[in-house]
């Protein structure tokens, strides 16, 4: 993973053994970096295959993009079947994505609905959940 413009805009390349680029990943946190990615998309100049975008620097703590319980069970099942990277060693979203890609290669179902659910999320408001901040270990 290489920081491009700043620590909140990074990219990672998945290359074959002969050096051919197979997939390009980007992580863009913060509004300025989000605008950069969106402008590239509008101009059809975005070279990334997968982009993780969040407004908060390094992602949102206890945000609406957190896994739901039923999704968490599926992730735990997948985790048990993979050569493990301890959650304590997992420092970035790209490392998590690397695990998911290994899982996809292992199961040969990278285009399935299950993999799509594991790789995508959407915003969901936490309004009315007064327990959200109490769940955080400060």
Q: How confident is the model at residue 39 (pLDDT cuts 50, 70, 90)?
A: very high
Residue among 60, 61, 49, 58 nearest 135 (CA): 61
CA distance 55 to 29: 5
What's the whole-model pTM score? 0.44
Four-way CATH pick for 1-61: 3.40.950.10, 2.120.10.70, 3.30.465.10, 3.30.540.10: 3.40.950.10
- CATH 3.40.950.10 in the chain is located at 1-61
pLDDT at 129 over 60: no
């Amino acid at each position: 993973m290489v920081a491009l413009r700043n620590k909140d805009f990074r990219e990672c390349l998945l290359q074959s053994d002969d050096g051919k680029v197979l997939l390009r990943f980007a992580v863009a946190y913060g509004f300025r970096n989000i605008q950069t990615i969106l402008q590239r998309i509008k101009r059809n100049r975005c070279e990334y295959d997968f982009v993780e975008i969040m407004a908060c620097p390094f992602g949102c703590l206890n945000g609406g993009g957190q896994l739901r319980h039923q999704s968490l069970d599926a992730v735990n099942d997948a985790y048990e079947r993979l050569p493990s990277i301890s959650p304590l060693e997992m420092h970035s979203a790209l490392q998590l994505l690397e695990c998911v890609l290994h899982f996809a290669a292992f199961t040969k179902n990278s285009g399935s609905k299950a993999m799509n659910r594991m790789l995508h999320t959407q915003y969901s408001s936490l309004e009315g959940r007064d327990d959200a901040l109490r769940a955080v270990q400060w």
